[in-house]
Structure 1
Amino acid sequence: MYVDDVLALVPSMPGRRVLLGLAGAPAAGKSTLARAMVEGVDARLGAGTAAYVPMDGFHLSNAQLDRLGLRGRKGAPETFDVDGYVHLLRRLRSSRDRTVYAPDFDRALDEPVAAGIAVPPQARLVVTEGNYLADDAAGWHEVRDLLDELWFVEADPAVREERLLARHVTGGRTDTEARAFIEASERPNALRVEATRSACTRVVRPDGVSGAPR
Protein backbone atom coordinates (compact mmCIF):
# COMPACT_ATOMS: atom_id res chain seq x y z
CA MET A 1 0.00 0.00 0.00
CA TYR A 2 1.71 3.18 -1.28
CA VAL A 3 4.99 1.25 -1.25
CA ASP A 4 6.09 2.56 -4.66
CA ASP A 5 5.45 6.13 -3.51
CA VAL A 6 7.44 5.58 -0.33
CA LEU A 7 10.29 3.89 -2.20
CA ALA A 8 10.65 7.05 -4.26
CA LEU A 9 11.48 8.90 -1.04
CA VAL A 10 14.28 6.55 0.00
CA PRO A 11 17.59 8.36 -0.63
CA SER A 12 20.11 6.73 -2.93
CA MET A 13 23.09 8.48 -1.36
CA PRO A 14 24.56 7.17 1.90
CA GLY A 15 24.41 9.36 4.96
CA ARG A 16 20.91 10.69 4.26
CA ARG A 17 17.85 9.57 6.17
CA VAL A 18 14.31 10.55 5.16
CA LEU A 19 11.54 11.10 7.70
CA LEU A 20 7.96 10.57 6.49
CA GLY A 21 5.17 11.67 8.82
CA LEU A 22 1.59 10.39 8.85
CA ALA A 23 -0.92 12.63 10.61
CA GLY A 24 -4.56 11.76 11.18
CA ALA A 25 -7.39 11.44 13.64
CA PRO A 26 -7.50 8.65 16.26
CA ALA A 27 -8.07 5.19 14.70
CA ALA A 28 -7.76 6.45 11.12
CA GLY A 29 -5.39 3.56 10.35
CA LYS A 30 -2.09 5.42 10.69
CA SER A 31 -0.16 2.68 12.46
CA THR A 32 -1.45 -0.05 10.14
CA LEU A 33 -0.47 1.98 7.09
CA ALA A 34 2.94 2.89 8.54
CA ARG A 35 3.79 -0.74 9.31
CA ALA A 36 2.70 -1.82 5.81
CA MET A 37 4.95 0.84 4.28
CA VAL A 38 7.95 -0.22 6.35
CA GLU A 39 7.41 -3.90 5.59
CA GLY A 40 7.04 -3.14 1.88
CA VAL A 41 10.25 -1.09 1.72
CA ASP A 42 12.20 -3.72 3.66
CA ALA A 43 10.89 -6.46 1.37
CA ARG A 44 12.21 -4.57 -1.68
CA LEU A 45 15.45 -3.09 -0.34
CA GLY A 46 16.41 -5.34 2.56
CA ALA A 47 15.65 -5.63 6.27
CA GLY A 48 16.52 -2.55 8.29
CA THR A 49 16.16 -0.11 5.39
CA ALA A 50 13.02 1.37 6.96
CA ALA A 51 11.90 1.85 10.55
CA TYR A 52 8.57 2.63 12.23
CA VAL A 53 8.59 5.12 15.12
CA PRO A 54 5.12 6.10 16.40
CA MET A 55 4.48 9.30 18.34
CA ASP A 56 2.46 7.27 20.88
CA GLY A 57 5.63 6.35 22.76
CA PHE A 58 5.60 9.93 24.03
CA HIS A 59 2.31 9.59 25.90
CA LEU A 60 2.78 10.84 29.44
CA SER A 61 2.57 7.98 31.93
CA ASN A 62 -0.72 7.43 33.72
CA ALA A 63 0.95 8.51 36.96
CA GLN A 64 1.87 11.86 35.39
CA LEU A 65 -1.60 12.26 33.89
CA ASP A 66 -3.14 11.66 37.33
CA ARG A 67 -0.77 14.20 38.86
CA LEU A 68 -1.77 16.77 36.24
CA GLY A 69 -5.47 15.92 36.36
CA LEU A 70 -5.43 14.94 32.67
CA ARG A 71 -6.28 11.23 32.81
CA GLY A 72 -9.72 11.88 31.32
CA ARG A 73 -8.11 13.76 28.39
CA LYS A 74 -5.53 11.12 27.52
CA GLY A 75 -4.69 11.49 23.85
CA ALA A 76 -5.06 15.29 23.78
CA PRO A 77 -1.98 17.31 22.73
CA GLU A 78 -1.16 18.30 26.31
CA THR A 79 -0.93 14.64 27.36
CA PHE A 80 2.21 14.00 25.28
CA ASP A 81 5.86 14.89 25.82
CA VAL A 82 6.14 16.89 22.61
CA ASP A 83 9.62 18.20 23.46
CA GLY A 84 10.87 14.63 23.81
CA TYR A 85 9.32 13.71 20.46
CA VAL A 86 10.89 16.71 18.70
CA HIS A 87 14.28 15.84 20.22
CA LEU A 88 13.97 12.28 18.91
CA LEU A 89 13.16 13.50 15.39
CA ARG A 90 16.27 15.68 15.46
CA ARG A 91 18.38 12.71 16.54
CA LEU A 92 16.92 10.57 13.77
CA ARG A 93 17.82 13.22 11.21
CA SER A 94 21.38 13.75 12.46
CA SER A 95 22.57 10.42 13.89
CA ARG A 96 23.60 7.69 11.45
CA ASP A 97 26.60 6.14 13.24
CA ARG A 98 24.78 4.36 16.07
CA THR A 99 21.42 2.86 16.96
CA VAL A 100 18.77 5.35 18.06
CA TYR A 101 16.35 4.06 20.69
CA ALA A 102 12.79 5.36 20.93
CA PRO A 103 9.92 4.70 23.33
CA ASP A 104 7.00 2.54 22.27
CA PHE A 105 3.43 2.35 23.59
CA ASP A 106 1.89 -0.81 25.03
CA ARG A 107 -1.88 -0.79 24.52
CA ALA A 108 -2.36 -3.70 26.91
CA LEU A 109 -0.64 -1.76 29.70
CA ASP A 110 -1.93 1.58 28.38
CA GLU A 111 1.53 2.96 29.12
CA PRO A 112 4.66 4.07 27.23
CA VAL A 113 7.62 1.68 27.24
CA ALA A 114 11.12 3.17 27.30
CA ALA A 115 13.54 2.15 24.51
CA GLY A 116 11.00 -0.25 23.02
CA ILE A 117 12.08 0.60 19.46
CA ALA A 118 15.56 0.48 17.93
CA VAL A 119 16.35 2.36 14.71
CA PRO A 120 19.54 0.85 13.24
CA PRO A 121 22.25 3.02 11.67
CA GLN A 122 21.51 1.62 8.19
CA ALA A 123 17.88 2.79 8.23
CA ARG A 124 17.40 5.22 5.34
CA LEU A 125 13.72 5.86 5.94
CA VAL A 126 11.79 6.42 9.16
CA VAL A 127 7.99 6.45 9.10
CA THR A 128 6.50 8.21 12.11
CA GLU A 129 2.83 8.74 12.79
CA GLY A 130 0.57 10.49 15.26
CA ASN A 131 -2.43 12.72 15.67
CA TYR A 132 -0.73 16.10 15.95
CA LEU A 133 2.16 16.09 13.48
CA ALA A 134 0.60 19.04 11.60
CA ASP A 135 -0.59 20.94 14.68
CA ASP A 136 0.39 24.59 15.23
CA ALA A 137 0.47 24.56 19.03
CA ALA A 138 3.63 25.32 21.00
CA GLY A 139 6.13 22.51 20.53
CA TRP A 140 4.07 20.72 17.90
CA HIS A 141 4.73 23.38 15.26
CA GLU A 142 8.40 22.28 15.23
CA VAL A 143 7.51 18.80 13.98
CA ARG A 144 6.70 19.72 10.37
CA ASP A 145 10.12 21.27 9.71
CA LEU A 146 11.79 18.02 10.79
CA LEU A 147 9.82 15.88 8.32
CA ASP A 148 10.62 15.51 4.62
CA GLU A 149 6.99 14.72 3.82
CA LEU A 150 3.82 14.88 5.90
CA TRP A 151 0.78 12.92 4.69
CA PHE A 152 -2.72 13.02 6.15
CA VAL A 153 -4.42 9.65 6.71
CA GLU A 154 -8.16 9.94 6.23
CA ALA A 155 -10.90 7.48 7.21
CA ASP A 156 -14.68 7.53 7.57
CA PRO A 157 -15.61 8.97 11.02
CA ALA A 158 -18.13 6.19 11.71
CA VAL A 159 -15.51 3.53 10.96
CA ARG A 160 -12.98 5.29 13.18
CA GLU A 161 -15.38 5.43 16.11
CA GLU A 162 -16.20 1.73 15.75
CA ARG A 163 -12.47 1.01 15.96
CA LEU A 164 -12.11 3.32 18.96
CA LEU A 165 -14.98 1.64 20.78
CA ALA A 166 -13.46 -1.80 20.20
CA ARG A 167 -10.02 -0.51 21.24
CA HIS A 168 -11.24 0.94 24.53
CA VAL A 169 -13.42 -2.05 25.42
CA THR A 170 -10.50 -4.38 24.72
CA GLY A 171 -8.38 -2.12 26.91
CA GLY A 172 -10.68 -2.69 29.89
CA ARG A 173 -13.37 -0.02 29.74
CA THR A 174 -17.02 -0.96 29.80
CA ASP A 175 -19.08 -0.12 26.73
CA THR A 176 -20.60 2.84 28.58
CA GLU A 177 -17.21 4.09 29.77
CA ALA A 178 -15.74 3.73 26.30
CA ARG A 179 -18.55 5.70 24.65
CA ALA A 180 -18.27 8.43 27.29
CA PHE A 181 -14.50 8.72 26.71
CA ILE A 182 -14.99 8.91 22.95
CA GLU A 183 -17.54 11.70 23.43
CA ALA A 184 -15.44 13.65 25.93
CA SER A 185 -11.96 13.20 24.47
CA GLU A 186 -11.63 11.32 21.19
CA ARG A 187 -14.14 13.40 19.19
CA PRO A 188 -12.69 16.80 20.23
CA ASN A 189 -9.21 15.46 19.44
CA ALA A 190 -10.38 14.24 16.03
CA LEU A 191 -11.89 17.63 15.19
CA ARG A 192 -8.62 19.33 16.07
CA VAL A 193 -6.66 16.92 13.91
CA GLU A 194 -9.05 17.28 10.96
CA ALA A 195 -8.42 21.02 11.02
CA THR A 196 -4.74 20.38 10.19
CA ARG A 197 -5.50 18.42 7.02
CA SER A 198 -4.64 21.28 4.66
CA ALA A 199 -1.19 21.65 6.24
CA CYS A 200 -0.17 18.22 4.93
CA THR A 201 1.39 17.60 1.55
CA ARG A 202 -0.86 14.72 0.56
CA VAL A 203 -4.05 12.95 1.69
CA VAL A 204 -4.08 9.16 1.70
CA ARG A 205 -6.59 6.53 2.74
CA PRO A 206 -5.88 3.04 4.07
CA ASP A 207 -8.09 1.72 1.24
CA GLY A 208 -5.58 3.07 -1.28
CA VAL A 209 -7.30 6.27 -2.41
CA SER A 210 -5.11 9.40 -2.34
CA GLY A 211 -5.16 13.02 -3.41
CA ALA A 212 -4.18 16.56 -2.57
CA PRO A 213 -5.39 18.30 0.60
CA ARG A 214 -8.68 20.11 0.24
Structure 2
Amino acid sequence: MRKRYIDYSTHHERISNPDQTKSKRFLVGLTGIPGSGKTTLADRLVKSINDQAGSNVSTIISLDGCRSALDMFEDPAEAHRRRGAPFTFDSQAYCNYLEDLLNRSDPPPAPSFSHTLKDPVKDSIPILPNNSIIILEGLYTLLDDGDVWRKASSLVHLGVLIETPIEIARQRLIQRHVLSGICKNLDQASSRADFNDLPNGKFLMDHMRKPDLIVQSVQDNSMVLQCP
Protein backbone atom coordinates (compact mmCIF):
# COMPACT_ATOMS: atom_id res chain seq x y z
CA MET A 1 0.00 0.00 0.00
CA ARG A 2 1.29 3.44 -0.87
CA LYS A 3 2.22 5.55 2.15
CA ARG A 4 0.28 8.76 2.65
CA TYR A 5 2.01 11.87 4.00
CA ILE A 6 0.63 15.11 5.38
CA ASP A 7 2.45 18.18 6.66
CA TYR A 8 3.38 17.99 10.35
CA SER A 9 1.24 21.04 11.11
CA THR A 10 -1.91 18.96 10.74
CA HIS A 11 -0.80 16.65 13.58
CA HIS A 12 -3.24 18.26 16.00
CA GLU A 13 -6.19 16.64 14.21
CA ARG A 14 -5.01 13.32 15.65
CA ILE A 15 -3.42 14.49 18.90
CA SER A 16 -5.57 17.38 20.12
CA ASN A 17 -8.74 15.35 19.65
CA PRO A 18 -7.75 12.11 21.40
CA ASP A 19 -10.09 9.23 22.06
CA GLN A 20 -11.88 9.42 25.36
CA THR A 21 -9.89 7.84 28.17
CA LYS A 22 -10.50 7.40 31.87
CA SER A 23 -7.18 9.08 32.62
CA LYS A 24 -6.77 12.62 33.91
CA ARG A 25 -4.50 13.44 30.96
CA PHE A 26 -3.66 12.21 27.47
CA LEU A 27 -0.01 11.22 27.10
CA VAL A 28 1.82 11.49 23.78
CA GLY A 29 5.21 9.77 23.68
CA LEU A 30 7.54 11.42 21.14
CA THR A 31 10.75 9.53 20.39
CA GLY A 32 13.48 9.12 17.81
CA ILE A 33 17.21 8.51 17.67
CA PRO A 34 19.53 11.23 19.00
CA GLY A 35 19.61 14.09 16.52
CA SER A 36 16.18 13.32 15.09
CA GLY A 37 14.64 16.63 16.18
CA LYS A 38 12.49 15.54 19.12
CA THR A 39 12.69 18.83 20.99
CA THR A 40 11.99 20.87 17.86
CA LEU A 41 8.90 18.87 16.97
CA ALA A 42 7.66 18.80 20.57
CA ASP A 43 7.80 22.61 20.68
CA ARG A 44 5.89 22.84 17.40
CA LEU A 45 3.31 20.31 18.54
CA VAL A 46 2.55 22.16 21.75
CA LYS A 47 2.37 25.55 20.04
CA SER A 48 0.03 24.22 17.35
CA ILE A 49 -2.23 22.42 19.82
CA ASN A 50 -2.44 25.43 22.13
CA ASP A 51 -3.04 27.84 19.24
CA GLN A 52 -5.89 25.68 18.01
CA ALA A 53 -7.38 25.32 21.49
CA GLY A 54 -6.96 28.99 22.37
CA SER A 55 -5.41 28.08 25.73
CA ASN A 56 -2.48 26.18 27.18
CA VAL A 57 -4.04 22.72 27.14
CA SER A 58 -0.72 21.09 26.22
CA THR A 59 2.76 21.14 27.70
CA ILE A 60 6.07 19.31 27.31
CA ILE A 61 7.82 17.04 29.77
CA SER A 62 11.30 15.92 28.75
CA LEU A 63 12.57 12.49 29.74
CA ASP A 64 15.92 14.18 30.36
CA GLY A 65 14.48 15.41 33.65
CA CYS A 66 14.63 11.80 34.85
CA ARG A 67 18.32 11.35 34.14
CA SER A 68 20.26 10.11 37.14
CA ALA A 69 23.01 12.28 38.63
CA LEU A 70 26.02 10.68 36.96
CA ASP A 71 28.49 11.61 39.67
CA MET A 72 26.49 9.49 42.12
CA PHE A 73 27.16 6.24 40.22
CA GLU A 74 29.61 3.68 41.58
CA ASP A 75 31.72 4.34 38.48
CA PRO A 76 31.09 7.99 37.56
CA ALA A 77 33.58 7.94 34.71
CA GLU A 78 31.76 5.06 33.03
CA ALA A 79 28.39 6.72 33.66
CA HIS A 80 29.60 9.92 32.00
CA ARG A 81 31.07 7.96 29.10
CA ARG A 82 27.76 6.14 28.60
CA ARG A 83 25.59 9.24 29.15
CA GLY A 84 22.19 8.67 27.55
CA ALA A 85 22.16 4.87 27.87
CA PRO A 86 19.02 3.46 29.56
CA PHE A 87 20.79 2.75 32.85
CA THR A 88 21.72 6.44 33.21
CA PHE A 89 18.02 7.29 33.65
CA ASP A 90 15.87 6.79 36.74
CA SER A 91 13.26 4.70 34.95
CA GLN A 92 11.27 3.99 38.11
CA ALA A 93 10.92 7.67 38.96
CA TYR A 94 9.81 8.34 35.38
CA CYS A 95 7.23 5.55 35.46
CA ASN A 96 5.92 6.70 38.84
CA TYR A 97 5.52 10.24 37.53
CA LEU A 98 3.53 9.05 34.52
CA GLU A 99 1.16 7.28 36.90
CA ASP A 100 0.76 10.54 38.83
CA LEU A 101 -0.09 12.36 35.59
CA LEU A 102 -2.73 9.79 34.75
CA ASN A 103 -4.32 9.44 38.17
CA ARG A 104 -3.88 12.70 40.09
CA SER A 105 -5.72 15.96 39.54
CA ASP A 106 -2.79 17.81 41.12
CA PRO A 107 0.43 16.03 40.17
CA PRO A 108 3.68 17.49 41.50
CA PRO A 109 5.77 19.65 39.15
CA ALA A 110 7.76 17.67 36.61
CA PRO A 111 11.55 17.51 36.69
CA SER A 112 13.63 19.21 34.02
CA PHE A 113 17.26 18.98 32.94
CA SER A 114 19.85 21.74 33.32
CA HIS A 115 22.28 21.73 30.42
CA THR A 116 24.43 24.13 32.44
CA LEU A 117 24.65 21.83 35.47
CA LYS A 118 24.43 18.69 33.28
CA ASP A 119 22.05 17.26 35.89
CA PRO A 120 18.28 17.00 36.45
CA VAL A 121 16.39 19.66 38.39
CA LYS A 122 13.47 18.42 40.49
CA ASP A 123 10.01 20.00 40.59
CA SER A 124 10.71 22.67 37.98
CA ILE A 125 7.86 22.32 35.45
CA PRO A 126 4.41 23.04 36.92
CA ILE A 127 1.54 20.97 35.56
CA LEU A 128 -1.52 23.22 35.35
CA PRO A 129 -5.10 21.99 35.82
CA ASN A 130 -5.87 22.64 32.13
CA ASN A 131 -2.81 20.74 30.86
CA SER A 132 -4.78 17.82 29.48
CA ILE A 133 -2.38 16.81 26.68
CA ILE A 134 1.17 16.04 27.78
CA ILE A 135 3.94 15.66 25.20
CA LEU A 136 6.56 13.30 26.63
CA GLU A 137 9.74 13.99 24.68
CA GLY A 138 12.77 11.75 24.92
CA LEU A 139 14.82 8.86 23.64
CA TYR A 140 13.14 6.11 25.66
CA THR A 141 9.50 7.18 25.89
CA LEU A 142 8.51 4.13 23.81
CA LEU A 143 11.21 1.74 25.06
CA ASP A 144 9.99 -1.84 25.40
CA ASP A 145 12.90 -3.38 27.29
CA GLY A 146 12.83 -4.31 30.97
CA ASP A 147 9.79 -4.35 33.20
CA VAL A 148 9.89 -0.69 34.28
CA TRP A 149 10.51 0.83 30.84
CA ARG A 150 7.91 -1.51 29.35
CA LYS A 151 5.33 -0.43 31.92
CA ALA A 152 6.12 3.25 31.34
CA SER A 153 5.72 2.94 27.57
CA SER A 154 2.42 1.10 28.05
CA LEU A 155 1.05 4.15 29.87
CA VAL A 156 1.50 6.31 26.76
CA HIS A 157 -1.73 6.71 24.81
CA LEU A 158 -0.16 7.74 21.49
CA GLY A 159 3.38 6.85 20.43
CA VAL A 160 5.07 9.03 17.80
CA LEU A 161 8.39 8.11 16.18
CA ILE A 162 10.56 10.57 14.25
CA GLU A 163 12.36 8.66 11.50
CA THR A 164 15.66 10.29 10.54
CA PRO A 165 18.45 9.15 8.21
CA ILE A 166 21.49 8.22 10.29
CA GLU A 167 23.83 10.59 8.47
CA ILE A 168 21.53 13.58 9.00
CA ALA A 169 21.22 12.77 12.71
CA ARG A 170 24.99 12.33 12.95
CA GLN A 171 25.69 15.73 11.38
CA ARG A 172 23.26 17.39 13.78
CA LEU A 173 24.82 15.64 16.78
CA ILE A 174 28.36 16.64 15.87
CA GLN A 175 27.33 20.27 15.43
CA ARG A 176 25.35 20.23 18.69
CA HIS A 177 28.21 18.75 20.72
CA VAL A 178 30.67 21.38 19.53
CA LEU A 179 28.31 24.35 19.89
CA SER A 180 27.17 23.27 23.37
CA GLY A 181 30.73 22.81 24.58
CA ILE A 182 30.25 19.13 25.39
CA CYS A 183 33.09 18.39 22.96
CA LYS A 184 36.11 20.58 22.24
CA ASN A 185 36.43 19.79 18.55
CA LEU A 186 34.90 17.93 15.63
CA ASP A 187 36.94 14.78 16.26
CA GLN A 188 35.65 14.49 19.83
CA ALA A 189 32.11 15.25 18.69
CA SER A 190 32.29 12.63 15.93
CA SER A 191 33.54 10.03 18.38
CA ARG A 192 30.76 10.82 20.84
CA ALA A 193 28.14 10.57 18.13
CA ASP A 194 29.52 7.31 16.73
CA PHE A 195 30.26 5.47 19.98
CA ASN A 196 27.60 6.82 22.34
CA ASP A 197 24.63 8.62 20.78
CA LEU A 198 24.02 6.50 17.71
CA PRO A 199 24.44 3.16 19.54
CA ASN A 200 21.84 4.39 22.05
CA GLY A 201 19.58 5.19 19.12
CA LYS A 202 20.09 1.74 17.63
CA PHE A 203 19.20 0.17 20.98
CA LEU A 204 15.97 2.15 21.00
CA MET A 205 15.04 1.13 17.46
CA ASP A 206 15.72 -2.52 18.29
CA HIS A 207 13.71 -2.45 21.54
CA MET A 208 10.76 -0.16 20.90
CA ARG A 209 7.01 -0.68 20.99
CA LYS A 210 5.27 -0.16 17.68
CA PRO A 211 4.58 3.57 17.20
CA ASP A 212 1.11 4.81 16.34
CA LEU A 213 2.39 7.60 14.08
CA ILE A 214 5.65 8.07 12.19
CA VAL A 215 7.14 11.48 11.40
CA GLN A 216 9.74 11.82 8.65
CA SER A 217 12.52 14.28 9.45
CA VAL A 218 14.46 15.66 6.49
CA GLN A 219 17.61 17.72 5.98
CA ASP A 220 15.96 21.15 6.02
CA ASN A 221 14.42 20.39 9.44
CA SER A 222 10.88 20.28 8.08
CA MET A 223 8.82 17.24 8.90
CA VAL A 224 5.88 15.33 7.54
CA LEU A 225 3.56 12.93 9.31
CA GLN A 226 3.04 9.41 8.04
CA CYS A 227 -0.38 7.99 8.82
CA PRO A 228 -0.34 4.18 9.05
Q: Give the TM-score normalised by structure 2.
A: 0.83
Partner of 1:204: 215
Aligned counterpart for 1:124 among listed residues 132, 153, 157 = 132
| Residue pairs, 1:96-111, within 5 angstroms | 96=105, 98=106, 100-111=108-119
Measured after TM superposition, the shift of residue 99 of structure 1 is: 5.0
Q: Offset of 1:140 from its aligned partner?
A: 0.8
With the length of structure 1 as denominator, give the TM-score of the two structures. 0.88
Letter in 1 for 2:157: D
Shift in alpha-carbon separation, 1:99–1:16, aligned structure 2, 3 A: closer
The answer (yes or no) to whether the contact 1:65–1:71 under 8 Å persists in 2 is no
User: CA shift at 1:100, angstroms?
Assistant: 2.9
Residue 25 of structure 1 corresponds to: 33
CA distance in 1, matches of 2:215, 2:145: 24
Inter-CA distance 41–100: structure 2 relative to 1 (3 Å threshold): farther
Q: How does 1:178-197 map to 2 (within 5 A)?
A: 178-196=189-207
Paired with 1:167 and 1:145, the residues of 2 have a C-alpha distance of 31
- In 2, Cα distance between equivalents of 1:62 and 1:25: 21
Deviations 1:10-33 (A, max 9, x none): 76x997411111121112111111
Count of aligned pairs:
211
Pair 1:160 & 2:169 matched? yes
- SS for the counterpart of 2:143 is coil
Using the alignment, how far apart are the partners of 2:13 and 2:210 within structure 1? 23
Distance 2:94 2:23 in 1: 22
Determine helix, strand or coil for the equivalent of 2:35: coil
RMSD: 2.3
CA distance 1:196–1:204, change in 2 (3 Å):
farther
Equivalent AA in structure 1 for residue 184 of structure 2: T
Distance 2:150 2:107 in 1: 27
2:18 counterpart letter in structure 1: L
Tell me the SS of whatever aligns to 1:199: coil
Q: Equivalents in 2 of 1:103, 1:25: separation in Å? A: 22
8 A contact 2:178–2:184 mirrored in 1: yes
- Name the SS of the counterpart of 1:143 in structure 2: helix
Tell me the SS of whatever aligns to 1:70.
Answer: helix
Amino acid at match of 1:171: S
What's 1:137 paired with? 145
Separation of aligned partners in 2, 1:108 and 1:205: 31
Q: What is the identity, as a one-letter code, of the residue corresponding to 2:170?
A: E
Q: Does residue 43 in structure 1 map to residue 51 in structure 2?
A: yes
Deviating more after overlay: 106-115 vs 55-64: 106-115
Alignment check: 8 A CA contact 1:100 1:120 kept: no
